[in-house]
């Protein structure tokens, strides 16, 4: 149950439905308590709407700009990608995957006896060459540096 | 709406490297940011420091502004967090047993002449004093609602509250404001309201 004051503030703010508004208007017209309170709150509301903001010192803007000049210029972190490129890439993958799936289904013979266990006897020593290991470790090192850089930046931002 | 578009145009210009344009954004919003900061700090020096800090933080984070809300709403939320941090720091450093931070020092009505203009001015002085004597959150809600041109939803975003909570708090703040005015003005309250 809302108090009279709350009802009148809602009426002043325009937060009531048409029926509620009509009901309050009738009460304000007929009931002296409502009428007096409405006058009082309307006056307070009027003064509040006319209040002015305070002005900082004359040098405020210059001080802010002096501080801003010491900062790194901001850049937009939001990358704007053309929607058509996204749809193009998506349709390429959907078409490729669909074609592979259709081909695979068309080549499959659905009989239990036809199932063969694939040969997984792969000779890894052919692929794990010293060059491959060096490239792998170098990539790991680069990724480690990128992560460290991101971590230190985040830490600096928090400070 | 025009103001909103211009704010966004200025932000785009800053992000494209024309950082001097930020001065225009500061000029446009400095009064309100300062007023909001003043509601928390209660003194001009601290409020100016908070407002400066807020504009610098906003500049640093300008690239992350998603432009899904008004720039002013985003800026006021930074002001709110900056002011709250400043207030917390201040409370930690200056706790006093007879702290009269929120007590009201009434201005003697006799210090004003009887002319209409002065009467109006004194009414605003009383109102400002009454707002200053409210709790920081209440004063901020009143300020954002009446001076910041912010809807209840937008105030909710600024203060990290639900719009319904803001509505309830706004109502309570106005009730308290009326009580403060009655206390400040006693018999004169009828003349003001």
CATH of the domain at B121: 1.10.10.10
φ/ψ (deg, to 5) at B104: -95, 135
When CB atoms are compared, the residue of A6, A9, A61 closest to B30 is: A61
What is the C-alpha separation between A55 and B31, in angstroms, rounded? 5
B113 and B35: one domain? Answer: no
User: Which structure tokens are listed for A40?
Assistant: 């009082």
What is the C-alpha separation between B130 and B102, in angstroms, rounded? 10
CB B22, CB A65: distance < 8 Å:
yes
B83 and B151: one domain? Answer: no
CB B33, CB B79: distance < 8 Å:
yes
When CB atoms are compared, the residue of A40, A56, A63 closest to B34 is: A56
The pLDDT of residue A147 is 92
Which position has the token pair 């450093």?
Answer: B93
B81 and B119: one domain? Answer: no
What is the C-alpha separation between A143 and A138, in angstroms, rounded? 9
* Inside any domain, residue A151: no
First-to-last C-alpha distance (Å) of chain B: 33
B145 and B165: one domain? Answer: yes
| Contact (CB<8Å) B32/A53 | yes
Task: Give yes or no for residue A137 having a pLDDT over 80.
Answer: yes
CB proximity list for A126: less than 8 A, separation 6 or greater: none
| Mutate which: A48, A57, A59, A159, vs B, most B CBs within 10 A | A48
What is the C-alpha separation between B73 and B45, in angstroms, rounded? 24
Q: Which residues of B touch A51 (CB under 8 A)?
A: 124, 127-128, 131, 146-147
CB B104, CB B183: distance < 8 Å:
yes
When CB atoms are compared, the residue of A44, A60, A61 closest to B178 is: A44
The pLDDT of residue A112 is 61
Domain that holds residue B132: 102-193
| Contact (CB<8Å) A47/B22 | no
Total of domains in chain A: 1
Please give the model's pTM, rounded to 2 decimal places. Answer: 0.64
What number is the ipTM of this complex? 0.73
pLDDT in tens, B150-174: 888 899 988 888 988 998 899 899 8
What is the C-alpha separation between B93 and A139, in angstroms, rounded? 50
Q: Which residues of A touch B171 (CB under 8 A)?
A: 5-6, 9
pLDDT in tens, B29-69: 999 999 999 988 888 999 999 999 999 999 999 988 877 88
Pick from B147, B172, B150, B152: nearest CA to B162: B152
| Contact (CB<8Å) B147/A71 | no
What crossing angle do the helices spanning B116-132 and B136-146 adopt, rounded to 10°? 130
The pLDDT of residue A51 is 80
Q: How many CB atoms lie within 10 A of CB B181?
A: 23
* Inside any domain, residue A152: no
What is the C-alpha separation between A24 and A5, in angstroms, rounded? 11
What is the C-alpha separation between B72 and B69, in angstroms, rounded? 8
* Inside any domain, residue A41: yes
* Inside any domain, residue A42: yes
């Amino acid at each position: 149950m809302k108090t009279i004051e709350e009802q009148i503030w809602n009426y002043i703010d325009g937060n009531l439905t048409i029926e509620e508004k009509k009901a309050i208007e009738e009460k304000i017209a007929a009931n002296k308590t409502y009428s007096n309170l409405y006058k009082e709150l309307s006056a307070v509301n009027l003064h509040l709407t006319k209040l002015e903001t305070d002005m900082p010192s004359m040098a405020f803007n210059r001080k802010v700009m002096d501080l801003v000049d010491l900062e790194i210029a901001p850049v937009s972190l939001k990358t704007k990608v053309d929607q058509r490129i996204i749809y193009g890439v998506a349709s390429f993958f959907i078409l490729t995957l669909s074609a592979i799936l259709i081909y695979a289904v068309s080549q499959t013979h659905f009989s239990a006896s036809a199932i063969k266990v694939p040969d997984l006897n792969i000779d890894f020593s052919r692929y794990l060459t010293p060059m491959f290991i060096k490239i792998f470790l170098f990539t790991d090192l680069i990724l480690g540096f990128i992560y460290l850089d991101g971590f230190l930046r985040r830490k600096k931002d928090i400070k | 709406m025009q103001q909103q578009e211009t704010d966004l145009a200025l932000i785009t210009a800053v992000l494209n490297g024309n950082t001097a344009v930020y001065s225009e954004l500061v000029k446009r919003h400095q009064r309100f940011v300062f007023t909001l900061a003043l509601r928390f700090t209660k003194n001009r020096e601290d409020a100016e420091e908070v407002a400066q800090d807020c504009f610098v933080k906003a500049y640093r984070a300008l690239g992350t502004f998603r432009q899904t809300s008004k720039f002013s709403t985003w800026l006021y939320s930074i002001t709110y967090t900056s002011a709250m941090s400043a207030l917390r720091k201040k409370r930690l450093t200056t706790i006093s047993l007879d702290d009269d931070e929120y007590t009201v020092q009434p201005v003697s009505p006799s210090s004003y002449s009887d002319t209409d203009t002065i009467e109006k001015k004194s009414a605003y002085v009383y109102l400002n004093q009454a707002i200053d004597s409210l709790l920081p959150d209440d004063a901020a809600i009143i300020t954002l609602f009446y001076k910041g041109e912010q809807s209840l939803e937008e105030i909710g975003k600024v203060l990290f509250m639900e719009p319904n909570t803001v509505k309830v708090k706004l109502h309570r703040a106005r009730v308290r404001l009326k009580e403060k005015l009655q206390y400040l003005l006693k018999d004169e309250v009828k003349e003001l309201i």
